Structure 1
Amino acid sequence: MTRTKKQQGPGEEPPEGRAAGRSGASGGGAVQSVDRAVSVLEILARRGEAGVTEIAGELGVHKSTAFRLLGVLENRGLVAQSRDRGEYCLGAGVLRLAGAAAMRLDISQEGVPVCRRLADELGETVNIAVPAEDAAVNIMQARGTASVAAQNWLGRRTPLHATSSGKVLLAHMPPARREELLAAPLARFTEHTITDPPALRAELEAVALRGCGTTVEELEPGLAAVAAPVRAYDGEVIAAISVSGPVYRLGCDRLEELAERTRAAGAELSRRMGYGF
C-alpha cells in the first residue's frame, strides 16, 4: 500500500511544529534586524560618521551583516555614504521623520510636567516664553509654594533686553535679526536696565557661553530671574524656561543654584521636544 503521509519517527517533530518553529524564528530574526537597524542609526548619530568595520564592531556582527543593514537604510534615505571616504552618516530621511514627529510635539503640552516639577522643587514661579516679533511672550506658568502672591506673567509680552528669557532668545537669534532688534531704541525700565547696545552684546555673548541668562531688577525693582534655552529637534532655540522671584530670596548664591536647575530643566524639555535623539 502506498503511504500518502510520512509517518512521524520516534522523537521527530511534527511537520506543523517545524513550520511553526520556522515562523517564530523568522519573526525573532525580523525583530533583531529592526533592533540592529535602529542601533546603526544611533551609532551614526553619536559618531557623525563611521565605516562598516566600526559599525559591525559596535553591533557585534559580521561585516556582511552590517553592510546589508546599511544597504537597506541607504535605500530608504536614512543613511548616506561619503564617496571619498566610504564612511556612512545619517541621511536626509532622518530629518524628514524627525520633522514629522516634531510637528506633533506641542511645547505647551510637553512643558507642563517640567514647569510643575521645577516650581514645586524650587518654590518659585516658572515660566516658558517664546519669541514674538520684538518681545517674549509667556505661554505657560507654574507657581511654587513660596510665590503664592507672585505676579501673573501668563500671556504677557515682555521686553527681550530686560528679561532673562528675552536675553536667552536674543543670544540665540540669527545675528542679522539680533542686530536689527538692537538697532532700535532700548527702553529703560529701571536704573539697572541695560540699554547700551555694546554692553548688551557682551551680556548676550556671556549668556550663550553660560547656557543661561539672568536679570536682577532690570525689568521691575525687586525682581530677579534666570532662564535657560529650550531647543527643537534640529537644535534651534524655540523658547526659554525661567525661574523668577523677589531679590531678597534670589540673591547671587541662590541665582547660581537656580541657574543649574533651570539649565537641567531646559535640557529636559529640549529632549521632550526631540533634541538630542
Structure 2
Amino acid sequence: MTSASTGAGSQSQTLSRGIQALELLADSEAPLSIAELSAGLGVHRSIAYRILRTLEAHSLVMRDDAGRVSAAPGLAALARGVSRDLQSAALPELTIVANELSMTAFIAVWDQHDCVTLVTVEPRHSRTALIQRPGTRHSFTVGAPGIAIQSAVTEEHWNRLAPGQPYRPEARLARERGYATSYSEVIDGVGAVAAPIQVPGQLPASLSVVYFGSGKDEAGIGARLMESVRLIEAQLR
C-alpha cells in the first residue's frame, strides 16, 4: 500500500482515494462510469477499478447492468453508527417538525471546520420542499445551522475548539434568543432557522429547517424548533 505525506503526517494514499471515491459517488446525482470515477480521482482506470473492487467487496458501492457505479446500502449501515443516540432521539421530532411546518428538517453536527447534515426529513405532502441531503456540508461562517452550533459555546471556548474560525456576531444574538436565522447565505433565495442541541459529553449540534423565499415567521419557527430540541435533549440526558 502506498502512502503520501501531508502536513498532518503520513497518510494512506489508497485509503484516501477510496474515501474520495465514496465522496464523489455521494455528491453525484447519477451513477458514475469507471471513466468518470477515474477522472474524478485523477488516477488511471486500472487504479480506479481496483479501488472499486475493494469497495464492492464491502458492499459500499454497486454496479448496474451498464457497469455504472453508485453508493450501496452498506454505506447506510455505517451512517447509522454516527451519533446513533442523537439520530434515534431526533428522527421522530424531525418528522413531526417537517410535516407541521411543511419544510425540510435536519440535524447538523460538528465536523472539523464544517457543519455536516447528519439526518434529514422532507415533509410528506410538499412538492416544493428543499432537498437537504445527508452528508451536505458547509462552513460555520455561513448559514443558520453553523450559527446555532456556535451559539451553544462561549466565544472563548469557540476559539479553543476552532482556532482561526471567526465567532459570528449572529451567534451572540442566537445565544440570547435560543435560535439562529439566515437568508441567502448558503444558497441564494433560501432561508434557514436553527436551534442548538447540547448533548452531554459531545460537541453541540443543531436542529434546522430550510425553505425557499423570505418573510417567514422566524420567531414562531424558532420557538417550535426549541420545543423539539428540549424533547431531544431530555432523551439524551
TM-score by length of 2: 0.58
The reply on whether 1:172 has 2:152 as its aligned counterpart is yes
1:178 Cα offset (Å): 2.5
Equivalent position of 2:206 in the other structure:
240
Equivalent position of 1:261 in the other structure:
224
Question: Which structure has more strand as a fraction of its residues?
Answer: 2
Structure 1 or 2, whichever has the larger Rg, is 1
The 5-angstrom pairing of residues 185-196 of structure 1 reads none
Aligned amino acid, residue 132 of structure 1 = D
Does the 8 Å CA contact 2:103/2:129 hold for their aligned counterparts? no
CA-to-aligned-CA distance 1:23-53 (integer Å, 9 cap, x gap) = xxxxxxxxxxxxxxxxxxxxxxxxxxxxxxx
Aligned amino acid, residue 262 of structure 1 = L
Distance 2:139 2:127 in 1: 22
1:203 Cα offset (Å): 1.5
CA-to-aligned-CA distance 1:175-214 (integer Å, 9 cap, x gap) = 3453364735xxxxxxxxxxxx5xx642211111111111
Distance 1:147 1:266 in 2: 26
Equivalent position of 1:108 in the other structure:
87
Equivalent position of 1:135 in the other structure:
114
Counterpart pick for 1:212 among 179, 189, 192? 179
Equivalent position of 2:52 in the other structure:
none
Aligned residues: 153
1:148 Cα offset (Å): 4.8
Distance 1:176 1:260 in 2: 27
1:272 Cα offset (Å): 1.4
Say which SS state the counterpart of residue 126 (structure 2) adopts: helix
Say which SS state the counterpart of residue 187 (structure 2) adopts: coil
Equivalent position of 2:126 in the other structure:
146
The 5-angstrom pairing of residues 1-277 of structure 1 reads 106-144=85-123, 145-146=125-126, 148=128, 150-173=130-153, 175-176=155-156, 178-179=158-159, 181=162, 183-184=164-165, 201-233=168-200, 238-247=204-213, 250-252=214-216, 254-274=217-237
Question: Which structure has more helix as a fraction of its residues?
Answer: 1
Does the 8 Å CA contact 1:230/1:237 hold for their aligned counterparts? no
Does the 8 Å CA contact 1:172/1:237 hold for their aligned counterparts? no
Aligned amino acid, residue 136 of structure 2 = R
Aligned amino acid, residue 210 of structure 1 = R
Does the 8 Å CA contact 2:114/2:137 hold for their aligned counterparts? yes
Distance 1:263 1:149 in 2: 21
Query: Would the alpha carbon gap of residues 171 and 147 (structure 1) be closer, same or farther in structure 2, given more than 3 Å must change?
Result: farther
Does the 8 Å CA contact 1:165/1:240 hold for their aligned counterparts? yes
RMSD, aligned α-carbons: 2.4
Aligned amino acid, residue 206 of structure 2 = A
Distance 2:218 2:86 in 1: 25
Say which SS state the counterpart of residue 118 (structure 1) adopts: helix
Gaps of 5+ in 2: 1-82
Distance 1:149 1:224 in 2: 12
Query: Would the alpha carbon gap of residues 273 and 261 (structure 1) be closer, same or farther in structure 2, given more than 3 Å must change?
Result: same
Aligned amino acid, residue 114 of structure 2 = A
